[in-house]
Amino acid sequence: MNLFDIAIIIIVGFSLIRGFFRGFIKELFSVIGLFVGFYAAYTYYQQIAKFLSQWITDTSYLNILSFMIIFCAIFFIISILGVIIKYILNISFLKWLDRIFGAGFGAIKGILFVSILLIILIIFLPKETPLIKKSRLSPHFLLVSTKVASIIPKEMKRNFADKIRELKRVKKNRG
């Protein structure tokens, strides 16, 4: 197990527990925030990168940081909207049902978050990065990442597919 595997376990476990305590409505808006945040980040990250290029010269880190700034901002805004709607609906009589569905949705959100993180790392980091290659859990998330990548624009998808093939080739040669 490497650092990325530990991060995967923490993210999915935390998301499941957090989903239980937050409930279904808040988690639903969080998942919506993941998708909308990903789309907005992909669409606008280059504009933020231009601004940040004054301080960051390494394009790999510049692109990742720009992408994450937009993604996190959109995700946060939509999550706040979920909190407001839950407060308005105040479904206290369904509290346990809300929590059980929230845990399931939280786990889904954690899996999606890891899958999106994996896409970002595969696209922006060099092909020979051991962070993903030596991970024992990342191959299990590649299926979800591939499905998520199917909804992203062609240029980003092509880059992702090329690097996935390279990772699989390297794994075959290793094992």
Residue 89 belongs to a domain: yes
| Residue 42 domain boundaries | 3-130
SS3 28: helix
Calculate the CA 126 to chain-centre distance. 19
Would you write out the chain's pLDDT as a tens digit for each of its 175 residues? Answer: 899 999 999 999 999 999 999 888 888 898 899 889 989 998 899 999 999 999 988 888 898 999 999 999 999 999 899 888 888 776 666 778 888 899 999 998 899 899 989 988 887 787 777 888 888 998 888 888 888 877 777 777 777 778 778 777 776 776 5
Is there a domain that residue 37 lies in?
A: yes
Flag whether 158 is in a domain.
Answer: no
Is residue 154 in some structural domain? Answer: no
CB atoms within 10 A of CB 151: 10
Q: For residue 169, is it within any domain?
A: no
No. of H helices and E strands in the chain?
Answer: 7, 0
Residue 168 inside a domain? The answer is no
Domain-located, residue 114: yes
Any domain includes 109: yes
